[in-house]
Amino acid sequence: MDPRFLFLRYPAQEALPLRTTFAHTNTSFGSVRLNYWPARRPAPPSRVVLFVPGNPGCPEYYTPFLTMLHARLPDSHAVLCTSHVGGEPSIAAPEQPLCLRQQVDAKIEVISALRASLEAWPRESGEAPELVVAAHSVGSWMTCEVAKVVDIPTSYLLFPTLGWIANSYHGWTMWPLFHRPLRPLMPWISYLVRPLLPFVTLPAASYALVSSPTTIKHALHLAHSEMAIIREPDEGWFRTQSELPAGRGAHSVWSAGNMDGWVGKEGPMIQSWLGEERVVKLEGVRHAFCLWEEDYRQVADILAGWIVEGTKARLLD
Give the pLDDT score at 315. Answer: 47
For 175, phi then psi, to 5°, come to: -50, -45
Any domain includes 47: yes
Give the pLDDT score at 309. Answer: 87
For helices 266-274 and 235-242, the axis angle rounded to 10 degrees is 30
Give the pLDDT score at 93. Answer: 97
Tens place of pLDDT per residue across the chain (317 aa): 899 999 998 877 778 999 999 999 999 999 999 999 999 988 889 999 999 999 999 999 999 999 999 999 999 999 999 999 999 999 999 999 999 999 999 999 999 999 999 998 875 556 789 999 999 999 999 999 999 999 999 999 999 999 999 999 999 999 999 999 999 999 998 899 999 999 999 999 999 999 999 999 999 999 999 999 999 999 999 999 999 998 999 999 999 998 999 999 999 999 999 999 999 999 999 999 999 999 999 999 999 999 998 765 554 45
Give the pLDDT score at 317. Answer: 52
Any domain includes 152: yes
Any domain includes 94: yes
| Dist CA 53 CA 33 (whole Å) | 12
End-to-end CA distance of the chain: 29
Q: Which three-class secondary structure state does DSSP give residue 130?
A: strand
How many CB atoms within 10 Å of residue 213?
15
Give the pLDDT score at 314. Answer: 53
The CA distances from residue 15 to 12, 19, 35, 222, 300, in Å, are 9, 10, 12, 32, 21
Give the pLDDT score at 12. Answer: 74
Any domain includes 177: no
Report yes or no: 135 and 155 within 8 Å, Cβ to Cβ. Answer: yes
Question: Taking the mean position of all CA atoms in its chain, how far away is CA 118?
Answer: 19
CATH code, 264? 3.40.50.1820
| Dist CA 296 CA 304 (whole Å) | 12
Any domain includes 246: yes
**Which residue range is the domain that position 106 belongs to?**
3-162+232-316
Any domain includes 99: yes
Give the pLDDT score at 43. Answer: 84
Give the pLDDT score at 286. Answer: 97
Radius of gyration of the CA atoms of the chain, in A: 19
Count of domains forming the chain: 1
Judging by beta carbons within 10 Å of its beta carbon (0-12, 13-18, 19+), is residue 187 exposed, middle or buried?
middle
Any domain includes 109: yes
Any domain includes 72: yes
The CA distances from residue 95 to 18, 86, 299, in Å, are 27, 9, 36
